[in-house]
Structure 1
């Protein structure tokens, strides 16, 4: 990776991380401080936690499409400005409704697809997968830091300071965008980074991808609903003060990360992805049943949390990789756009349903509801086909109008090429290849130039 590409990757990763850090810091603490806002009920507290997911799901795809017309950086700056203003509204709120408005505004600055498209503009095809993986790691790291930092800082400075801090993070991200992120030489269409309208209908009918969309919807429903009641369980049943919750999360998160490494190796190196995937869903379900029955006992709460985060972190690592493996050639950007929208909509439904169920019945019923959703997910995932271990590969090609099918046939005849999509108007060919058998030299011999 060249120095410019590394700079682009690190700067865009930091933008992603700062924004997600701001969103995630509210999750483990808001239930504890919701009573500070007038009109707060359990249902409205859950809505305040999850509402960002609804606005983000709505604006995720439009932001990506608009960036092709108005430019990547202007859309990123606009989205970050919305995020900052939303944090200020929530910090100054007197009522829970004002907090909900602020959180909804924060979610409406849905810049994820735009950041990925800018990354694609700034990196070569052969380095793009590594660059996107670094952004993925930054998101995972921001979640872990947020779970620790939110309780610690709110215990000292209060919940309103956390909202202000999210706005400060947004301003920092804007400065990174202006002064650190390089300007692309040209804005290009990248079907492996941005959604394409003409692919959405077909992918919504793709059975294997829809299993993953249902799965990520349920996973983020579960985690968001859990954080409606989890902080209350730690305070009321484990007698842990709000400012000390991070001391519980730290060893649990650390142990879950260490434990998932061998299973990730088995998944990728031994090509046992389906087995590891189903095991992770099972573990998530068992953890929720344990929390439903024994959340009022310290051992049950802590063991349930360890199992929960083990399963959650493993699934978060596995699922984007599965989308990449399963998405047809040239469809990854659209597949990831639909997947991300399902993820954020799940967060909205989780926060809302968790608050409603907790307010009407109680904590045990919330966890039983989530265990039921996890069982449903397991039933949906069980018939999945074992994914092929294929990798995306994009090349530039000048193809005369009407000759796309002929070019596709030539590419499919090359050893290791499993799928091909040629887009003549974009001078691009998108391939899915088996790296162990891929004959790259033959690609060059039919006058394809690497991007």
Structure 2
């Protein structure tokens, strides 16, 4: 696997840091809000649920618009706007003593729907051969943020109360903004060759068969995750693990899962086994649901199932966005990531409702069996996925005479050229090449020079 360049390393570290700060701020509300939120003026169980879901609802509504804008506008600037909305939302929620104020604050935090923009910028800054590794790092940061948040949230809420907790989310957003301003590199070659109208471009992304398969995957993954966490905490309590110690279970289990993730990602990329590792992860996720269905009454069974679940979940979180990036058409990366993130939040939103409903109607055993069946259906559909092309980026700078149609046609016809994009911002020609078939000699005599 190719090593990171200094710019790639800086991009991965800084953008993962932004993800982590935002996610810790958001996740640490979850294990405490249902308890502390009852003290807010006008609070009811329904409105408390709405306050928790307001962030996800805003993300659901705005992921695609942010993704569309990411394909036409400065992605760095869009991240700054999203972080400012996140900070303002945290301050509004911290200053509120009513449930409706918190709902507005949480919605504002979610309105900064920059997940797709961050992923698209990361893809701009990291070469194709390092993209899976970079996405895995982001996935690890999200997973660790989840575990840390469930440890930090109850402790911080006990010390400073709910308002202090929301203020802490705003502070984390401010740190993320500082990281963005000072450390995130500017993309020199953002792919933004779009049609004039957004709607046809969006419809192309929605109809793309490979992307549709991946969007179904992220929908199922987050539906399973949120449905599980509706019922797992009380199951752990019933099995003898107090709620105050749940975070200390998640943290080591997640850490071990992330360690096991590294060799799996290396095999997927270096040995070109992306499809096989992806299918294996889906199988393991289904197996974890079966273990929960059969062994949810005992602590040992729960811990084993949770460990297997987190390994499969984190592996899929690493592979899915990388696959979307590899398979999205030229110039459509931001929009494809926007659709992907929307499916993710839709799955999370519906997973909570499905988990609560099935638990109440039929019990947790039936819930886990239903989730296992859903994963099985996902696996059946995933078998039709083709192996992604293992392409490398090559940027050419035309001579002073500019770009001619003859030059573009000769490049398109060259062996090993899988994709060609003329970048209008700087006039460079961006190629995706298969090194098994590409020959550098084809550039001899052409009025171009290799950039970088």
Could you say whether these structures have the same fold, taking a TM-score greater than 0.5 normalized by the shorter chain as the test? yes
Partner of 1:145: 145
Measured in 1, the distance between the counterparts of 2:299 and 2:10 equals 46
Question: RMSD of the alignment, in Å?
Answer: 3.9
Change (3 A) 1:388 1:152: same
Contact kept, 8 Å, 2:12 with 2:137, in 1: the verdict is no
Alignment correspondent of 2:267: 266
State whether structure 2 residue 28 is matched by structure 1 residue 25: yes
CA distance in 2, matches of 1:265, 1:119: 19
Change (3 A) 1:156 1:177: closer
* 1:126-182: CA deviation from partner (whole Å, max 9, x where unpaired): 768758954762452243133134334414533724433211101222233445556
Q: Secondary structure at the match of 1:387?
A: coil
CA shift, 1:95, in A, is 6.2
Distance (whole Å) between structure 2 residues aligned to residue 68 and residue 328 of structure 1: 12
Q: Is the 8 A contact 1:28 1:147 kept in 2?
A: no
- Find the residue that maps to 1:427 and give its secondary structure: coil
Compute the displacement of 1:309 (Å): 0.7
- Pair 1:341 & 2:338 matched: no
Deviation per residue, 1:320-353 (Å, 9 max, x gap): 2222332334443332232222222222222333
* Alignment match, 2:55: 52
Q: Secondary structure at the match of 1:418?
A: strand
Matches for 1:422-433 after TM superposition, within 5 Å: 422=422, 427-433=427-433
In structure 2, what is the equivalent of residue 228 of structure 1? 230
SS of equivalent residue, structure 1 residue 86: helix
Per-residue CA distance 1:40-86 (angstroms, 9 max, x = gap): 54x76665444423312322243355578885555433322321232
In structure 1, the residue corresponding to 2:432 is in which secondary structure?
Answer: strand
TM-superposition CA deviations, 1:100-142 (whole Å, max 9, x none)? 4433221111123444566688x5xx76875895476245224
Q: Is the 8 A contact 1:189 1:426 kept in 2?
A: no
Give the match's secondary structure for 1:306: helix
TM-fit CA distance, 1:436:
3.6
Structure 2 Cα separation of the partners of residues 441 and 105 of structure 1: 54
Matched, 1:391 2:392: yes
5+ unaligned residues in a row in structure 2: which ranges? none
CA distance in 1, matches of 2:324, 2:117: 19
**Offset at 1:214?**
0.6
CA distance in 2, matches of 1:368, 1:36: 37
**Which residue of 209, 212, 217 corresponds with 1:210?**
212
Matched ranges for 1:12-91 at <5 A: 12-27=15-30, 30=33, 39-41=43-45, 48-66=51-69, 75-91=78-94
Listed as ranges, the gaps of 5+ residues in structure 1 are none
Are the structure 2 counterparts of residues 327 and 71 from structure 1 closer, same or farther at C-alpha, using a change threshold of 3 Å? closer
Matching of residues 154-169 of structure 1 within 5 Å = 154-155=154-155, 157-158=157-158, 160=162, 161-169=164-172
> How far 1:12 moved relative to its partner?
4.0
C-alpha distance in structure 2 between counterparts of 1:436 and 1:108, whole Å:
44
**Which one is further off, 423-432 or 291-300?**
423-432
Query: Is the 2:16–2:141 Cα contact (8 Å) retained in structure 1?
Result: no
Structure 1 pair 57–358 and aligned structure 2 pair: CA distance change class (3 A):
same
Q: CA contact under 8 A between 2:227 and 2:353: conserved in structure 1? A: yes
8 Å contact from structure 2 (residues 87, 109) kept in 1: yes
The 5-angstrom pairing of residues 114-193 of structure 1 reads 114-115=117-118, 130=130, 134=134, 137-155=137-155, 157-158=157-158, 160=162, 161-181=164-184, 190-191=191-192
Cα shift at 1:357: 3.9
Which deviations, in whole Å up to 9, do the C-alpha atoms of 1:302-328 show, x marking residues without a partner? 111011111111111221222233233
Determine the structure 2 residue equivalent to 1:319: 320
Q: Do 1:281 and 1:378's aligned partners in 2 also have CA atoms closer than 8 Å?
A: yes
For 1:239 and 1:193, how far apart are their aligned partners in 2?
56
Cα distance 1:443–1:412, how it changes in 2: closer, same or farther (>3 A)? Answer: same
Match of 2:420 in 1: 420
TM-aligned CA deviation for residue 274 of structure 1: 2.2
TM-score after normalising by structure 2: 0.81
* Number of corresponding residues: 443
